[in-house]
A and B are shown apart, each in its own frame.
Chain A
């Protein structure tokens, strides 16, 4: 026991307390609150994207319902048939183009070629004209369908007006706004009645086409015989398809409800993004998603070898002085504003690439020559410049983190510098490099201005049948579409909500990429540090 006895107040100090907190606790809570901001922001982003976007599915379902009720779907079956025929006609003109080129290359020149092709032209014309009755029927029915749709829309507008008037308390005026519900079944009767005529038209069409394909014109150039024969086969299969279309019209059920899942499917797997159309709006993600992925693919194809190669060189082979210049320089590139790069693409790079593509000795490159300045390639090149610094910096870090002992052991065993790099250091850093590439991918997919300015902004699924040549097609992207259309849409409209849904997809995609990158980094890290 201490001589002076216990003094319980020795280390005690009365501290100011507020709500049971000392000032230190309060300060700690303040900092903690700030630390949570990142979590909160992430949650808010999710919340607001969902809040603004979620209404999309209901609206799109309604949109699809109207598409069916008003008979647009019915008419589109007809149109598909018409379009398939148009494709065949286009095939004929391609054949003619080939024949003409061949013939006019001969001694007699263009005039003789025209003469030699006269029979073929007459045939092609007859073939093209065969569809006219169907086309007439199609546009007649289209008018009916748009008529129904317009009626419905007007009605909806009226309803809205009435709702507003009621909300404003003007019940009297509201009552005067007439709303006559559209009787879809009655309105669509002319459509259903046209099925008989359609069968008739098809019978004539089939006879005509079969007759035509049975007696093809003598091929003006012998090489075309095969092609013409193949054309004949295509015509036969087209005719064989006709009953299926009739059946589709026969079984078309105007009253069939649109399932909730269909609205989602139409968004995720829809092949068209078509807005402000007088016929039918489609909000399909696929063209945008493929566009984004295609551009990102081209960008990474360029950026990965460059970025990783540069990282390996700088980390493993460069002198200290070289390192001291190159590293900040590449970091500096990462500060280039993307809108400036996009402008550079419009002003310089697009034209340069186009001219390069037209060099005769580069004609072997798939897709070359091309005439569109703004396309996947232009955007991809610029995005590569954006991705390289990201990939470089992270990959260089990963190489740097490989424990010194590994390369030393390898070198001491008599391996050369390069062998050590490729067999020891590179594999050891691989997980870091892969996650660097993934983060580069995230940057590229999320990049807006470059693709908006340089990707060509054509909303269509690019034509993959041409192989690698697809990389010079103009495309539109998820980021680009938001930037381009967000400013022009009506708040709360289905189009507006669709853009938020695209944003949500983009957000989830970036989270997934980020998550994957971190997983890889953590799972395969060398030593727990």
Chain B
């Protein structure tokens, strides 16, 4: 009772300190997460950029991006260490008479590039997303525009929620059992499409429903009062205004489709394939061919070949390209969605 006090003296210092420490801990948790994520991102971007970029023009390693994978051969020649891809090595052996029996260490997939993987991933994503959008948006239209709350609709919603929680490897097994074996599609692009599409379906439905719900009821009422049918109302007074929202949120689904490995492991992905997807004889072959894919390639090069200075380039390079693709898509989706949410306050 010594210091002169008035009614609003601050609380005791110790208590305030304790509070500050606790809040600081919460804050530390937040930044620890960001730091960890940022660390992984930076490490891969930094080490991968050495593969993907180069010092001289065009500054981008076009060989890596636009050619097929090859084995890398490392050997001593005339006192120097040489590294060559498959084709170059063969040519070299023919050119140099003494080189025929040179002992080279070989590392698969470590030379050349990843073009077939990039192409395969783009194809997989495009097809799967088209399917998922078609089914998902229709499904959301039904749930938000037609359905009346009832037992059945609750059941459907429950199914959607549960579908979202099914592990991706289970989708892989399912796709394998249904499309690859039962339908006899074998390991193919189309089996991958369906498997991935079913996997992102809940994401697309949820996103689309959110976007549809954001369209004010007044517009629907206005259209109906003017004598529009249900479908005309949806087509002219709901969907056009929900579409931007549907698309931006669904981009996040793209990131998910592109990022998953497990579902395509046994349904669509080949370890290696020497032809590009569009080099097919008949059009149907296009659907029924397996493809290489970036995520699967990363898995292959990081688990099936040794880690060393020669293999590191392709490992980090592939991870870089893949991470960057997915990250760009995700970032675009997040930014667009936040902008849209801010704008669409009707």
**B99 within 8 Å of A (CB atoms):** no
Task: Say yes or no: B43 contacts A348, CB within 8 Å.
Answer: yes
CB-contacts of B239-265 with A (<8 A) = 252, 255-256, 258-262, 265
Instruction: Give the contacts of A327-369 with B (CB-CB under 8 A).
Output: 328-333, 335-344, 346-348
B19 to chain A, nearest CB (A): 5
- Chain B, interface SS category: helix
Residue A255 at the chain B interface, CB threshold 8 Å: no
Q: Are A34 and B138 also in contact (CB < 8 A) when A337-B322, A445-B167 are?
A: yes
Question: Would B315 and A335 count as touching, CB distance under 8 A?
Answer: no
> Contact flags (1/0) for A288-319 with B, using CB distance below 8 Å?
00000000000000000111011011100110
The residue from B170, B177, B262 contacting A510, defined by CB atoms under 8 A apart: B170
A38 touching B205 by the CB < 8 A rule? yes
What residues on A are CB-neighbors of B302 within 8 Å? 342-343, 346-347, 453
Cα distance A31–B182 when bound, in Å?
27
The yes or no answer to A473 lying at the interface (CB within 8 A) is no
Q: Within the complex, which residue of B23, B170, B260, B261 is in contact with A503, where a contact is CB–CB below 8 Å?
A: B170
Q: Which residues of A contact B19 (CB under 8 A)?
A: 416-418
Q: Which segment, of B59-67, B84-92, B214-222, B325-333, faces chain A?
A: B325-333
- Say yes or no: is A448 at the interface (Cβ < 8 Å to chain B): yes
Known: A336-B40, A337-B260, A518-B161. A500 touches B166 (CB 8 A): no
Q: Which of B68-76, B101-109, B110-118, B141-149 is near enough to bind chain A?
A: B141-149
Of A40-48, A181-189, A211-219, the stretch lying at the interface with chain B is A40-48
With A306-B32, A341-B40 known as contacts, the answer to whether A28 contacts B146 (CB < 8 A) is yes
CA distance A452 to B169 in the complex (A): 11
Instruction: List chain B residues, Cβ under 8 A from A507.
Output: 166-167, 170
Say whether B93 faces chain A, with CB atoms less than 8 Å apart: no
A296 CB, min distance to chain B CBs, angstroms: 12
Does B33 contact A306, Cβ atoms closer than 8 Å? yes
- Minimum CB–CB distance from B272 to chain A (whole Å) comes to 14
The residues of B that contact A260 with a CB separation of less than 8 Å are none
Assembly CA distance A329 to B330 (angstroms): 11
Q: A19: CB under 8 A from chain B?
A: no
Stretch in B50-58, B122-130, B152-160, B280-288 touching the partner: B152-160
**If the complex has contacts A41-B163, A305-B29, A445-B167, are A336 and B299 also in contact, measured as CB distance less than 8 A?**
no
One of A154-162, A199-207, A240-248, A482-490 at the interface: A482-490
Given contacts A336-B40, A514-B162, contact A343 B26 (CB under 8 A): no
In whole Å, how far is B293's beta carbon from the nearest beta carbon of chain A?
10
Question: B307 an interface residue at 8 Å Cβ cutoff?
Answer: yes
Partner of B167, one of A38, A479, A486: A479
CA distance A236 to B262 in the complex (A): 52
A23 to nearest B CB, angstroms? Answer: 7
| B30 adjacent to A446 (CB under 8 Å) | no
Interface pair A511/B162, CB less than 8 Å apart: yes
Min CB gap B332→A, angstroms: 11
Of B147, B165, B231, B265, which is in contact with the most chain A CB atoms at under 10 Å from its CB?
B165
The reply to whether the CB of A102 lies closer than 8 angstroms to some CB of chain B is: no
| CB-based contact B266/A42 at 8 Å | no
Most A-side CB within 10 Å, residue of B26, B34, B171, B319: B26
Docked Cα-Cα span, A514 to B158, in Å, equals 10
Q: Does B275 contact A (CB under 8 A)?
A: no
Q: Give the residues in chain B near A430, CB-CB below 8 Å.
A: none
Choose among B156, B162, B335 the residue that contacts A328 (Cβ–Cβ < 8 A): B335
Chain A residues, Cβ within 8 Å of B120: none
Across-interface contacts of B49 in A (CB, < 8 A): none
- Does A491 reach chain B (CB closer than 8 Å)? yes
Given A340-B44, A449-B262; A332-B33 close (CB under 8 Å): no
Q: How far is the CA of A346 from the CA of B315 in the complex (A)?
A: 11
Give the residues in chain B near A511, CB-CB below 8 Å: 162, 165-166
Tell yes or no: A121 within 8 A of B by CB.
Answer: no
Complex formed: what's the CA distance from A388 to B30 in Å? 10
- How far, in whole Å, are A514 and B170 apart by their CA atoms in the complex? 15
Task: Tell me if B9 is interfacial: C-beta within 8 Å of chain A.
Answer: no
For residue A51, which residues in chain B have a CB less than 8 angstroms away from its CB? 177
Which residue, of B30, B155, B326, has the highest number of chain A Cβ atoms within 10 A?
B30
Q: Is the CB of A385 within 8 A of B40?
A: yes
A127 close to B (CB within 8 Å): no
Q: Which residue of B lies closest to A514 (CB)?
A: B165
* B138 with A482: CB separation less than 8 A: no
On whether the beta carbons of B259 and A335 are closer than 8 Å, the reply is yes
Which chain B residue shows the least CB distance to A511? B162
Evaluate contact between A328 and B334: CB separation under 8 angstroms: yes
Answer whether residue A49 sits at the interface, using C-beta atoms and an 8 A cutoff: yes
Are the C-beta atoms of A332 and B161 separated by less than 8 Å? no
Known interface pairs A35-B143, A346-B302, A487-B265; A48-B177 also in contact (CB < 8 Å)? yes
Chain B contacts of A453 at CB under 8 A? Answer: 299, 302-303
* A244–B307 alpha-carbon span in the complex (Å): 51
Q: State A305–B26 Cα separation when bound (angstroms).
A: 9
Known: A41-B163, A343-B319, A453-B302. A310 touches B307 (CB 8 A): no
Q: For residue A509, which residue of chain B has the nearest CB?
A: B167
Interface membership of B237, Cβ < 8 A: no
In whole angstroms, how far apart are the Cα atoms of A337 and B139 in the complex? 27
- B98 interface residue, CB < 8 Å from A? no
Set of chain A residues within 8 Å of B173, measured between Cβ atoms: 48-49, 52, 482, 486, 499-500, 503
- Whether B170 contacts A45 by the Cβ 8 Å rule is yes
Q: Would you call B167 and A35 a contact (CB within 8 A)? A: no
Question: Which residues in B have their C-beta under 8 angstroms from that of A468?
Answer: none
Task: Say yes or no: A333 contacts B198, CB within 8 Å.
Answer: no
User: Which residues of the other chain, A, contact B230 by a CB distance below 8 angstroms?
Assistant: 24, 27-28
B25 within 8 A of A: yes
A343 touches B315 (CB 8 A): yes
Complexed CA–CA distance, A515 and B159 (Å): 10
Which residue of B is nearest A513, CB measured?
A: B165
- Assuming the A-B contacts A38-B163, A487-B266, are A340 and B231 also in contact, with contact meaning beta carbons closer than 8 angstroms in the complex? no
Task: Please list 7 pairs of residues, one from A and one from B, whose beta carbons are closer than 8 Å in the complex, sorted by A's number.
Answer: A34-B141, A309-B29, A317-B27, A346-B307, A482-B169, A486-B176, A518-B158
Closest 10 CB pairs of A and B: A446-B167, A309-B29, A335-B330, A337-B259, A34-B138, A48-B177, A313-B26, A31-B142, A333-B37, A514-B165
Other A-B contacts than A39-B155, A453-B302, A511-B165, 14 sampled, CB-CB below 8 A, are A24-B230, A31-B141, A32-B146, A41-B163, A42-B159, A49-B170, A52-B181, A306-B32, A332-B37, A335-B259, A338-B259, A416-B11, A483-B169, A514-B164
